[in-house]
Structure 1
């Protein structure tokens, strides 16, 4: 039986408004591929950069901790600045879509450079990794602005957005699973015993793949709902931008949610390979962990629309937040035995299932907040709002990587040797207790009040404003 909310969504989506035409699957796929590309690069940084710098290039933990923090903060700060540039720039090929390729090519190049060891002298090596990683961080963070802004620019239909959320999360999941299950065996295979060579070859191939996908995006997408701020008088000041965004409670909740979940997962990702290698003495558990997480996540994504219709967007995401807290905290009670490995995998399966339920709904939250900002303030600043999400993601991963590196040094971690009991306990803290505390802030989604019915109403009123604006012109 349909709820009043879903009936309202259908009735408004079926009205003869500007966005009546549903997106094709090709358009939905192209509109969400940025999540795949971004996840590939951000997860390589989160999962393997610390390991690559310390265990492969043998750079000191202290320097790596500082570099990750500074580089990612620079990237985070640059994201909103780039978002303003995107909002104020229009190209002959579109406002947001062309940036997929404009940024995609240098991201591929600097991703390869970051994970390539040219066997330089110690001082030259520090300069090299600093320059390449800072630029890489800025580019990856900048991609968030056009990536988040494209969705509202190509459709206002709520059903299309939910569908894009499902496809987008499935792609993000595939990227994350590839990083967790495929990178370790692939860099071993390509390197033939030389891990540095293996990482370099793998990142070169990843770069070619991501640029090819960017080409597919720019040739498949057409922007329909954009506001061009080409005239100086049409451009809102920074003060107006900030006021429009930060008087929007829904946007603030989304940013807190994004910051918390990325920081918690970032800390875990950075130390996971160390945890598997030294706690369970089973480094290849990275591959098994990715595989057993795949099926429940896919199942959850497939069922996500039904779950969202039954319990609502907010309750779906809130349930995921609670399960994530409990799952992460359980690490503190898991023994380093075969039974402990089973326990770890079982809790991961449960958390993955709930994450699959919630992730498409999570993806619909920021577009809803963007529409609310335009509806309330009368200005469209989707690029800026998307870049702020990028700022939160980049800042959280910066802090996560630095916390992980500093934490490893604090607990006495030394690469390649048997770790002390104190170090092992510290690894458990970094994998379990600390992330569970951080991710507890995601329960702020309980205050997200843009219901499906309210989103449908806002979409209708924005469509009416567009019609009036077109008739006045």
Structure 2
């Protein structure tokens, strides 16, 4: 028997394996660094890369983002259902770290490489490479999310894993936000497009090495044995079991709201810095400044979660994010405006740092709830909807951002008009708040830590039978 203190209460989990070693926790979440790197590179730089380096029309890019990512979003649940129905001699989820990691890294490098083709050839190349890269980006996180409920049922361990995972997310984000501009400029030696290609080639190598490490180090413990005489659940049964779980639905709404809100802002952030503050290098400076309070928040997140609980900690992050969004609309294009922008971003990052590990512990709890309620183990299928939502939100936010650049009269490489500059402020301030407001759905997530521990106990008893 193991007892833990979560949200100020002592809860008990029975039938548990020993606590995880730090090395296994690292193996579980280290992939968050390259995954975040690729995800943010797509969000923050792909639109810029296409418009300014490959000279592709923003309207064409908007259509490309929307169509391809929408198709990929539909593929993600199908892939998740496949993972839940099959097993391999090497594990149910862990082999997929390597199977997906290799082509994911390579396709990222190809996407950010400008070919020596004519205008039509570049368009075809952009479409093909982006389709492949986007497909893997939409499913790459499914195994890593699905495997956590199969590794541990301890609430405190899950919070610890989520906390450690967010640190690796920050590493990936730090490299993108702080290092991308100086790295591609330094590596290119005056040829920024070539610098991007070299940077993404290095990222591909690191992505592949990490995927190998994860596939051999993570150990699955709680995967139900498959009865050969038992028919696997149909896709319809999976859908019903997932969406009759209100906690999963709440988390999906929350994730969509946050993803599309941050996606719109990220998609035009470099345009905003380059043309509003006349300093493209602010991507690195501001990125570093706002990551520091995020690290502080993550470091103290377990204490905050114990004091206020998972739901309330996440809600605090939602509310602060909504309150600070409109501030960006009123900042002037001077040093005072920059300081206001940074201050609002720092506050949002600090509270968000408290909330992120709490959010990471909620989906495994929702997955356990589905198994407890329906008897179906749907780790990958339910996790796949995270990929579905993030992929669709990225498509929608990217299309909105690209289309909005055309609407506000953005022209690459020239001084922007006052109307265009105001439009950029709307894109980083007003629109993220509009979509982010849906994240308030977290208010109805009443699956308490005590209830989670009881579900974990009952699931352990079922496995003994």
Q: Please give the range of the TM-score, normalised by the shorter of the 2 chains.
A: over 0.9
Kindly provide the CA deviation profile for residues 244-271 of structure 1, in whole angstroms up to 9, marking residues without a partner as x. 0000000001101111101110110010
Aligned to 1:414: 411
Q: Do the aligned partners of 1:88 and 1:230 also contact (CA within 8 Å) in 2?
A: no
Other-structure match for 2:116: 119
- Are 1:399 and 2:396 an aligned pair? yes
Distance 1:344 1:134 in 2: 35
**Residues 87 and 229 in structure 1, CA contact (< 8 A), matched pair in contact too:** no
1:91-106 correspondence runs (5 A): 91-106=88-103
Distance 1:265 1:4 in 2: 30
Contact kept, 8 Å, 2:7 with 2:305, in 1: the verdict is no
In structure 2, do the counterparts of structure 1 residues 279 and 461 end up closer, same or farther at CA, with 3 Å as the change threshold? Answer: same
1:427 is matched with 424
> 1:173 aligned to 166, 170, 173, which one?
170
1:167-217 Cα offsets, whole Å, 9 max, x none, are 011111111121011011100001111111001000000010111111111
Q: Distance in 1 between matches of 2:267 and 2:281?
A: 16
The residue aligned with 2:344 is: 347
SS in 2 for 1:8: strand
The aligned residue for residue 38 of structure 1 is 35
Residue 445 of structure 2 is aligned with which of 409, 431, 448?
448
Separation in 2 of the partners of 1:441 and 1:402? 20
Q: 2:355 aligns with which of 350, 353, 358?
A: 358
Correspondence 1:9-408 to 2 at 5 A: 9=11, 12-13=12-13, 15=14, 17=15, 19-227=16-224, 229=226, 231=228, 233-408=230-405
> Which residue number in structure 2 is paired with residue 8 of structure 1?
10
Q: Structure 1 residue 229: deviation in Å?
A: 4.7
- Matched position secondary structure for 2:355: helix
Deviations 1:299-330 (A, max 9, x none): 10111011111111111000000111122221
Structure 2: which 5+ runs fail to align? none
Describe the SS at the equivalent of 1:339.
helix
CA distance in 1, matches of 2:162, 2:169: 10
* Aligned pairs for 1:456-467 within 5 A: 456-467=453-464
Residue ranges of structure 1 left out of the alignment (5+ in a row):
469-473
The Cα of 1:228 is off from its aligned counterpart by 5.0
Q: Cα offset for 1:37?
A: 2.3
Deviation for aligned residue 1:115: 0.4
Aligned-residue offset at 1:220: 1.1
Separation in structure 2 between the aligned mates of residue 409 and residue 388 of structure 1, nearest angstrom: 31
What secondary structure is seen at the aligned counterpart in 2 of 1:335?
coil
In the comparison of the two structures, how many residue pairs are matched? Answer: 462
Q: Which SS does the other structure have where 1:234 is aligned?
A: coil
1:330-371 C-alpha deviation (Å, 9 max, x unpaired): 101111110110111111111110011000000011100000
Check whether the contact 1:90–1:228 (CA below 8 A) recurs between aligned residues.
no
What is the alpha-carbon distance in structure 1 between the residues aligned to residue 227 and residue 175 of structure 2?
A: 41
SS in 2 for 1:412: coil
The aligned residue for residue 434 of structure 2 is 437
For 2:174 and 2:440, how far apart are their aligned partners in 1? 25
CA RMSD of aligned residues (A): 1.4
User: Are the equivalent residues in 1 in contact too, given 2:109–2:201 (CA < 8 A)?
Assistant: yes
SS of equivalent residue, structure 2 residue 30? helix
| C-alpha distance in structure 2 between counterparts of 1:229 and 1:204, whole Å | 40
* TM-score (norm: length of structure 1): 0.96
CA distance in 1 between counterparts of 2:205 and 2:38 reads: 13
Q: Once the 2 structures are TM-superposed, how far is the Cα of residue 232 of structure 1 from its aligned partner? A: 7.6
Q: Which deviates the most, 66-75 or 232-241?
A: 232-241
Q: Distance in 1 between matches of 2:63 and 2:130?
A: 12
Take 2:400 and 2:224, find their aligned partners in 1: how far apart are those partners?
A: 40
Write the deviation string for residues 107-136 of structure 1: whole angstroms up to 9, x where unpaired: 011001100011211111111111110111
| TM-score relative to the length of structure 2 | 0.97
**Distance in 1 separating the partners of 2:209 and 2:444:** 40
Q: Aligned partners of 2:80 and 2:134: how far apart in 1?
A: 15
Question: Is 2:6–2:305's contact at 8 Å kept on the other side of the alignment?
Answer: no
> Is residue 90–residue 230 contact of structure 1 (8 Å, CA) maintained in 2?
no
3-state SS in 1 of match to 2:10: helix
1:227 CA displacement: 2.7
C-alpha separation between the residues in 2 aligned to 1:4 and 1:416? 53
Shift in CA distance, 375/425, structure 1 to aligned 2, threshold 3 Å: same
